[in-house]
Structure 1
Amino acid sequence: MPTAQPSRAERRRATEARILAGARELFAEKGFDRTTIRAVASTAGVDPALVMQYFGSKRDLFTRAVQVRPAAPAATGAEGLADQLLATLGPKLGALPEGTLAMMRSMLTDPGAADEVRARLSQQAEAVVAAMPPAQDAELRAMLALTTLLGVTIGHQLLGLPALRDAPTDRIAALLRPGISALTEGKAENEVAG
């Protein structure tokens, strides 16, 4: 019995998936500026014109390639919120998805990537604020907690700082816990300092 050939739509989806996989890999490795459509096409085993036909532009390809949306923290109470935020360090210090690495690598050199990171952090901050007890400067506190974790991730993943690369994730989390807890529990400044 002859084997069924994939439909045109299935072949198109498979080609699109190969292009996106190649784009994620290259954007993660080289960032937005240093990745070319030709290189993406070569990695995917297609003609550069086909990449443009499927995605329209390098910017549109990048946007599609990095569309991994991080989950927002669930409302678990202030104490649980700090633990939940710190629990994200495991995946962040492990093998990040290539789309996330691409975004991180590109956010300082490409305005579009910076806008996307800004929007994602704002969404995450809204979710953190919603899970926090009422506090003065709640949005600032949430953003400080999130950008602290982002900074640790950048130091570990992109810069390869030995102190961060060599430390176990649970040790990093333990050292960060008092600061993240103080931010998310809404303690007054004099309580934290005293």
Structure 2
Amino acid sequence: MTTRLEQRQRTEARILTAARRLFGEHGFDRTTIRAIAAAAGSDPGLVMRYFGSKEKLFAQAAAVPADGPIEGSPDQIARQLTAALTEKLTDEPAAALAALRAMFSHPEAAEEVRTAMTAQQRQIAAQLPGEDAVVRSGVIGALTLGLVISRHLVKLDGLDATPEELMAVAGPVIEDLVTQWKGGATPLHGRAGP
């Protein structure tokens, strides 16, 4: 027998799946709560009760934390971050790209997505050594966003390379940012430290 909590969780999952698809296909402005509810086999009022607003639903549907918690030693964190970026470069992250498009035209959606991304960056920074951990975590986030946008949206020359070729260049940079810090014992890739 299914409990109410299980029913709610299944309904929320259906709504999020429909929202990801519709936001990815139509963008934030052209996607309505009614369309999401219809695609999820639900009621618009229920969507609003579960998620509060279109912006909050969008933030959850397009949230970056699909990577899950990033934790462990600096080497483990570097491996987790490079694996997550490799996955984003391999499969076009439709919901995340919809979020990025909407961030430039819809301030409320931008704030919701920024809040989710900031929470993930702070979670990573809290585990990195060094006083500049927040700065390094921010650079990792910017590098990730830049590569995903440049490969999937802008389609810059050179970024149509295989994910493995791209990570051969970006992976060592991420590793350096995770494992090195001001005053660290080893300079970044043989360069003189700051």
The two structures have a TM-score, normalised by structure 1, of: 0.71
The 3 A distance-change label for structure 1 pair 9 and 85 is: closer
Matched, 1:161 2:185: no
Aligned residues: 183
1:123 aligns with 2:119: yes
- Relative to structure 1, the CA distance from residue 51 to residue 94 in structure 2 (aligned partners, 3 Å threshold; closer, same or farther) is farther
Provide closer, same or farther for how the CA distance between residues 187 and 181 of structure 1 changes in structure 2, counting only shifts above 3 A: farther
Partner of 1:55: 48
Alignment of 1:20-99 (within 5 A): 20-41=16-37, 43-44=39-40, 50-55=43-48, 57-66=53-62, 69=65, 70-77=67-74, 79-95=75-91, 98-99=94-95
Structure 2 spans left out of the alignment, 5+ residues: none
C-alpha root-mean-square deviation of aligned residues, in Å?
Answer: 3.6
- Residue identity (%): 38
Taking the aligned partners of 2:47 and 2:175, their CA distance within structure 1 comes to 46
Q: Which of the numbers 140, 151, 166 marks the counterpart of 1:172?
A: 166
Farther-moved stretch of structure 1 (93-102 vs 81-90): 93-102
Kindly state the Cα deviation for residue 170 of structure 1 after the two structures are TM-superposed. Answer: 1.8
Q: Greater shift after overlay, 123-132 or 14-23?
A: 14-23
The answer (yes or no) to whether the contact 2:64–2:96 under 8 Å persists in 1 is yes
**Letter matched to residue 75 of structure 1:** G
Rounded Cα–Cα distance in structure 1 between residues aligned with 2:124 and 2:71: 8
1:146 corresponds in structure 2 to 141
TM-score by length of 2: 0.71
Amino acid aligned to 2:174? I
| Larger of the two Rg values belongs to structure | 1
* Partner amino acid, structure 2, of 1:181: E
User: Which runs of 5 or more residues in structure 1 are unaligned?
Assistant: 1-5
**Structure 1, 167-176 or 178-187: larger mean CA deviation:** 178-187
Instruction: Give 3-state SS (helix, strand or coil) of 2:134's partner.
Output: helix
Q: Equivalent residue of 1:131, what SS?
A: coil
Aligned to 1:3: none
Residues 80, 101 of structure 1: alpha-carbon distance in 2 compared, 3 angstrom cutoff? same
Deviation of 1:96 (Å): 5.4
8-17 or 114-123, larger mean C-alpha shift:
8-17
The 3 A distance-change label for structure 1 pair 38 and 132 is: closer
Paired residue type of 1:76: S
In the TM superposition, what is the alpha-carbon distance from 1:183 to its structure 2 partner? 2.0
